[in-house]
Structure 1
Amino acid sequence: MDRTAPPLEVATATPGIAWPGLPGPAGTSLLGLLFQLDRTQWWPAERIEAAQRRQLAALLDHARAEVPFWRARLPGFPPPEDAAAFEAAWAALPILTRAEIQAADASEALLADRLPQGHGEYREIFTSGSTGRPIRGVRSQLWELVWSAFTLRDHLWHRRDLAGSLAVIRESGAGKAPYPDGDTQAGWGFSSAAIFATGPLFSLNVTTPPALQMEWLRRRDPDYLLSHPSILARLAAEVGAHPLPRLKQVVAISEALAEPQRKAIEAAFRVPVVDVYSTREAGYLALQCPDHAGLHVQSEGLRLEVLRDDGTPCAAGEVGRVVVTPLHNLAMPLIRYEIGDLAEAGAPCPCGRGLPVLNRVMGRRQNMLRLADGGRRWPLLSSGDIEKLVAAAPALRQYRIVQTGFDALTVMLAVARPLTDAERAAVIAWARGKFGEGFAVAVETMDELPKSAAGKVEDFICEVPEG
C-alpha cells in the first residue's frame, strides 16, 4: 500500500449509500480493470507476453471472421500457447500503413460487420492529422472503458490528488473555451467520473496567446496543468519569478517531449513534468514510470513493437519505428499498424515492473532530416544548440526548421522584434553549423508560428517527398 499517495474517494451511484461509495456498472467495471492493472504491472515480462498472446489470438480470430479487410490478409495462426510458432507467424504479418487505412476507410473495409456481446456501440473519432493525412477511426464503448482505466492508472502512478483542480490547454472546437474565462467542468472527465469524486476541470482554447494563457492560469491557480510540450515551453518563458503557487505537477501530451523542454518547464514551474505517449486511434502507448526515467509500454492494452528497417526488433538503446496493435478495439482492428513515430527501446526498469520500456519517443519518421543518398538523420537539438540559436537571435520566442529540399532549409522564427541583418546571418551560420554547410538556408520571421489543425507546433518538419 502506497501511504504517500493522496486519499481517493469513490463516488457513489447507489441511492441511499453515501459512504463507502458504490459506483454504477461502468465504475464497477473500471474498478475491476484497475484491480487487475495494479497486479499485472508486476508480472514478469514472460507472463505478460503470454497473456498478451491470448488476447491477440482472440483479436485475430475476430478480425478474420468479421472484418472484410483482414479476411484475405490474415493466415491461420498457431495456438498462443506455442510461443515460438506464434511469434514467428506474428513477425511474418505485413505492416499496416496509414495509406492502407485511408484506402480501406473509403469502403469501410476495416470496420467489423458486428461486435461481440458486451462491446457496446461503435464510436467514430478522427486523428489530429499532424502528418497532414488525417484518418477516421472507429472504436467500441468497451475500448473507451479500457482507455479510461489507463487514464486512471496514470493518475494513480503519479499520485495525483484527484480532489485538486486540473487546467488543460489543448485543441478544442472553434470558439470553445475562449479567453478570458475558458470553460469549467465539475470533474476531470468521463474517465474518472464513473469512480472518483474529483475537483474542477478548467480548459482554455489552445489558440490563446501565451501571455494570456499565463494570465488565465494565474487566475485559475490549478493543482495540475496538462498541455502540449511546445505550449508548456512557451508558458515556461512567461512564468517569471513567481510560479503558480498551488501547482504540483505538469503533464505533457500529444507531442514528443524533448529533454531540453522538460528541463526548461521544470525549472520555470518548479514542479516535475510527467510525459504521456498516446494516439487517438491506438490509445495509451506508454506512460512515464513513477519511480524512474523512461516510459512503460501499456502492454495490457496493446502490443507495441520498436522495429529496425529490416523488421527485426530493436535492442535496448536502438531507435526504430513504432508499430502498434491495440488489443481490445474489435470495432476497427489495427494489426501491426505503423503510426509514423520513432522511439528508442529501453532495458528492463529498475522499478521491477515487467512492462517494456521506451527510453524516449523521438517523433514522426517523416520529420527526420532526409539526405540525397537516401539516408536519414534525426535532427535533435540539444540544450547547447538552442542556446546558440538564442544567442544568434536574442529576440527569439519560438522556432521551427523546415527542410524544403535535400539541400535547402527554412528557419522559421517567432520573434519579439525584427531581426537585424547581422542576426539573420548568425541564424544562417547556426543552421549550417548544425545541419551541414551544404544547405541553402532561408530565414522567415513572424509573430507566432502556425499550428496544425490540432494545435501542435513541431520544431522540425521535412517537406521532402518520399521516393
Structure 2
Amino acid sequence: MDNECRGEGMSVNVPRSRMPGIAWPAIPDGRAATLLAIQFQLEQSQWWSPDDLAAWQLRQLRLLLAHAGRSVPFYRERWRKAGFDPRALPTLTWDDWRRLPILTRADIQDAGEQLYSTRVPPEHGKPSVLHTSGSTGRPIAAARTQLSILFWEAFTQRDHQWQGRDRNGKLAVIRHAEPGRDPYPEGTRTPNWGHARRAVYDTGPCVALNVNCSPEQQVDWLRREQPDYLLSFPTNVARLAEYCLEHGIRLSSLRQVQTISEVLRPEVRELCRRAWSVRVVDMYSSREAGYIALQCPAHEHLHVQSEGILVEILDENGAPCSAGQVGRVVVTPLHNFAMPLIRYEIGDHAELGPPCPCGRGLPVLTRIVGRTQNMVVLPDGSRRWTLLSSDDVAELRRIAPIRQYQFIQRSLETIDAMLASERPLSRDEEERLRAWLETKLGHAFAIRFIYVDEIPRAPSGKFHDFISQVAR
C-alpha cells in the first residue's frame, strides 16, 4: 500500500507498507527495508568531508582487494607477478592503491571468466551477467550480484530525491528498443517506473517509445501522452526541442528532462528552456560499473557517487588530476564481488571540479568530455577533442541547411562527412565546410561528402557526431 497526502499543491510520498493494518508510518518488507536503510545512510554521508569519504572508501577497497586476491584467478596471477599481496598489508594507503595496474577493456575481453570470482559471498545474491553496448568497439560481458543491483536502486532513489521528482507523475522514456518493441504510434505502457523505483514507493505509469521514430512521431506521441518527465539521449532531446520550436509546439505537462548515455552539451539545456521551460538533469553511468555521478540538486555539474564507486581522474602519466584538468576516467565499483573491476579505465575523459558550494563532500565532475573514439587523430599521432560548442554548430548551419551531421575519420588523412540536409551542398558550400573542418580539427583532411536522408544511431541508440576509427 502506498500513501499519498496532498495539501497546498504538494504531494508527500510515503514508503509502501507491508504490515497488515498499518499505513503510516510504513513498515516495509525485507528488501525495501534494506533499501531504506541504505538511503538513510546516503542522506548522512553526502555531507561528510572528503577525508571521511576517502577513509571509508579505503576501508571498503581493502575488503574488495582481499576478496579479489583470494577468489579471482586474473588478479591472483597479475598480483603474484607484481609481488603484490593485499592480505599482507596491515593497512591500505592511497600510495599502495596507485601502484595497482590499470584494468582496460582489452584486459577484460582477454581474461573472460578468469575475472569472475570463484567464491562470491552467498549473502550478496546470485550473480548474473550483462553485456555492454560496445560503443568503443569492444563489447564486454560483466558479472554482478543482487547486491550490485540493490545499490543501483538506492542511487536511483537518491537521484529522484535530489531532483525533487513527484513519483506519482508519468514518466516517458525514449531510447533504444529491439525491433518491434515500443513502436509508434502507441509505444508501450507499464504501471510503474520500474523495479528500482517501485521497490520502496508506488509510482505513476511509465510509457516508452523507440528512439528510431522520427521527431515528428515522437512529438505527436508526447503530446498525446502528456508526461511529467522525459528520459532520453541528449541528441534526441535536442532534436525534439528544435522541432517543437520550429512548429510552435509546447509540451505543457512536462516538468523535467533527464538525459542519459551521451555527452550533454550546454546548448541542449538552453534549447529545453526555450522550447518547454524546463530544466535538464544529467547523469553519468555505465552498465558494467553502475552509477558513476549524478547531477547536483543545486548546480549543473555532477557529484561522484562515492558511497558506491571510487572515481579517479588521471592524466596521461597516470597521476591524479587537479581541479580544472581533463583526464582519463578510472573507476572501481566498491561492492561488486562477482567480477571486481579494480582501477578500470572506462574509456571516457572528464574534467575534475573544485568542491561544490552546496556543501556536499562528494567529488565534483564539471563535465564529461567524451570517449577516446570522439577524439581526432592527427597525422603526427597527437589527439584533440572535436566536441562542438553551440557557436560552432550555429556556424555550421549558417554554411548550409544541414539538419544532421556525422564526421567519421577513416584514416590519418581522410574524413567522411555524412550530411542529412535539405539539399546537396553547392561546391562553394562544400569548400566553406572543408575550411570550417580544417579550423576545428587542426588539419586539412581530405573530405568525402556523403548525402543521406537520415543518419542512423548506433545499435545502442547512442549518437556520436564524430567517430575516429583510427583511435580504436
Q: TM over 0.5: same fold?
A: yes
Shift of 1:81: 8.3
**Equivalent position of 2:56 in the other structure:** 51
Mapped contact 1:152–1:191 kept (Cα < 8 A): yes
Identity across the alignment (%): 50
Once the two structures are TM-superposed, the CA of residue 222 in structure 1 deviates from its matched residue by 0.4
- Any conservation in 2 of the 1:170–1:227 contact (CA below 8 Å)? yes
Letter in 1 for 2:108: I
1:165 correspondence with 2:174: no
Q: How does 1:55-70 map to 2 (within 5 A)?
A: 55-70=60-75
Contact 1:101 1:135 in 2 (8 A): yes
User: Aligned-pair distance for 1:325?
Assistant: 0.3
Q: How far 1:224 sits from its partner (Å)?
A: 0.4
Instruction: Pick the aligned partner of 1:142 from 139, 147, 170.
Output: 147
2:311 is matched with: 304
Asked whether the 8 Å contact 1:6–1:159 carries over to 2, the reply is: no
Deviation at 1:352, TM superposition (A): 0.6
Any idea what SS the aligned residue of 1:300 has?
Answer: coil
Change (3 A) 1:313 1:411: same
What aligned pairs does 1:105-254 form with structure 2 within 5 A after superposition? 105=112, 108-240=113-245, 241-254=248-261
Could you tell me which of 446, 460, 463 is aligned with 2:469?
Answer: 463
Structure 1 residues without counterparts, runs of 5 or longer: none
Corresponding position of 1:319: 326
Report the CA distance shift for 1:437/1:102 in structure 2 as closer, same or farther (over 3 A): closer
C-alpha deviation, 1:79, in angstroms:
8.6
Say whether the 8 Å CA contact 1:186–1:201 is kept in structure 2.
yes
**8 A Cα contact 1:318 1:344, kept in partner:** yes
- Map of 1:55-94 to 2, 5 A cutoff? 55-74=60-79, 75-77=84-86, 82=91, 86-94=93-101
Secondary structure of residue in 2 paired with 1:388: helix
SS state of the match for residue 142, structure 1? helix
- Name the SS of the counterpart of 2:142 in structure 1: strand
Deviates more, 1:153-162 or 1:130-139: 130-139
1:387 to 385, 389, 394: 394
Instruction: Write the distance in 2 (CA, Å) between the matches of 1:13 and 1:432.
Output: 64
User: Could you tell me how far 1:181 is from its partner in structure 2?
Assistant: 0.7
Contact 1:143 1:329 in 2 (8 A): yes
Matches within 5 A, 1:287-436: 287-394=294-401, 396-436=402-442
Shift of 1:311: 0.4
Mapped to 1, the partners of 2:169 and 2:240 lie a distance apart of: 21
1:272 equivalenced with 2:275 (yes/no): no
Conserved 8 A contact 1:23-1:194? no
Q: Partners of 1:278 and 1:224 in 2: how far apart?
A: 19
Shift of 1:4: 11
Distance 1:437 1:310, change over 3 A: closer
Q: 1:379 to 1:80 in 2, by over 3 A?
A: farther
Amino acid at match of 1:442: R
Q: Which residue of 1 aligns with 2:27?
A: 22
| Post-superposition offset of 1:333 | 0.5
Match of 1:449 among 455, 458, 463: 455
Q: Distance in 2 between matches of 1:377 and 1:18?
A: 58
Moved more, 32-41 or 409-418: 409-418
Name the SS for the 1:118 alignment partner: helix
Kept in 1: contact 2:372–2:471 (CA 8 A):
no
Which whole-Å deviations, capped at 9, do the CAs of 1:61-93 have from their partners, x for residues lacking one?
1111111111122322389885xx621111011
Could you report, residue by residue, the CA deviation over 1:133-164 in whole angstroms, capped at 9, with x for unpaired residues? 21111100011000000011011000001110
SS at match of 1:399: strand
Give the Cα separation in 1 of the matches to 2:17 and 2:213. 37
Q: Is the 8 A contact 1:409 1:440 kept in 2?
A: yes
Gaps of 5+ in 2: 1-7
CA RMSD of aligned residues (A): 1.8
Distance 1:146 1:440, change over 3 A: same
Helix, strand or coil at the partner of 1:197: coil
1:414-435: per-residue Cα shift (whole Å, max 9, x none)?
Answer: 2233333333333223222322
Which amino acid is 1:289 matched to?
A: C
- Asked if the contact 2:116–2:339 (Cα under 8 Å) also holds between the matched residues in 1, the reply is yes
Contact kept in structure 2, 1:226 and 1:253, CA below 8 Å: yes
Cα distance in structure 2, aligned partners of 1:267 and 1:398: 20
Residue 6 of structure 1 and its aligned partner are, at CA, apart by: 5.0
Q: Which amino acid aligns with 1:296?
A: H
Aligned length: 459
| CA distance, structure 1, for counterparts of residue 237 and residue 457 of structure 2 | 14
Q: Stretches of 4+ moved more than 6 A in 1?
A: 78-81
Q: Is the 8 A contact 2:155 2:291 kept in 1?
A: yes
Residue of structure 1 equivalent to 2:4 = none
1:283 aligns to what? 290
**Structure 1 residue 442: deviation in Å?**
1.9
Residue identity in the other structure for 1:322: V
Change (3 A) 1:392 1:291: same
- Tell me: CA distance 1:375–1:5, structure 2 relative to 1, closer, same or farther (3 Å): farther
